[in-house]
Amino acid sequence: MQATRQQILDYLRREGQATVKELGGLLGLTSTGIRQHLTVLERDALVEAHEERGHVGRPALVYRLTEQGDALYPKKYDDLANMLIEEARRVLGPQAAADLIKSVAARFAEPYVLRVEGKPVAERMEIVARILEERGNIVSASPDGESPAICKHTCEYWNVAQQNSIICALDVEFVRQLVGADARLTSSLLRGDSACTFD
């Protein structure tokens, strides 16, 4: 990242938002120079602008980070999740920790229940595959045939699963809740397979 653009991003991360004038004063650049940097950052989807009305005059453009821009800064969600799982296992015991993961999966599934309700299993499998895609995964499904399956080729919990494979139960239970039939994990990315397969 070019140094001036990084300074702009850092300022927006710290302050929440800024105008061209504020950024110019901070960095000692002209409004034109700041706008050139902001144009590149907008093109890269790292910042966005919105109009804000003052007491007088025309509305000013105010810039802030997008989700993509905010994602450039470190997040320790994986560390937190791993610590919580390990602490749950230590304090509650292995079975209670497993039950907790299943309970979380049921809560994740709740918003999607109406989409699958009353549908046959094969159709539910197709819908669940689409839901998993909506959640950011690469998924393929073969709901018909002797061994119907959903194959999930990505894992949003990969960094957690490497340390705590118990998290895999979350996906199994999520699929089971929505498909309405027993789901087994027959292949796993964690074991080196090409997908996590639920059948």
Q: Where residue 106 falls among pLDDT bands split at 50, 70, 90? A: very high
Q: Which of 19-23, 121-125, 144-148, 159-163 has the lowest mean pLDDT?
A: 144-148
Kindly report, residue by residue over 95-104, the tens digit of the pLDDT. 999 999 999 9
Per the CB < 8 A criterion, the answer to whether 75 and 54 are in contact is no
Q: Tell me how far CA of residue 89 lies from CA of 83, 94, 148, 175, in angstroms.
A: 10, 5, 33, 23
Q: What is the model's pLDDT at position 199?
A: 84
Task: Tell me the average pLDDT across 140-159.
Answer: 82
Average pLDDT taken over every residue of the chain: 89
Rounded to an integer, the average pLDDT of 163-192 is 90
Report d(CA 75, CA 154) in Å as an integer: 20
Question: What is the pLDDT averaged over residues 147-170?
Answer: 89
Query: In this predicted model, what pLDDT tens digit does every residue of 53-90 receive, in sequence order?
Result: 766 667 788 999 998 898 888 778 889 999 999 999 99
* Neighbouring-strand partners of residue 61: 51
Q: Residues 70, 76: contact at Cβ < 8 Å?
A: no
The predicted pLDDT at position 72 comes to 85
pLDDT at 143: 66
As given in the structure block, the two tokens for residue 65 are 């980070």
- Res 63: pLDDT: 94
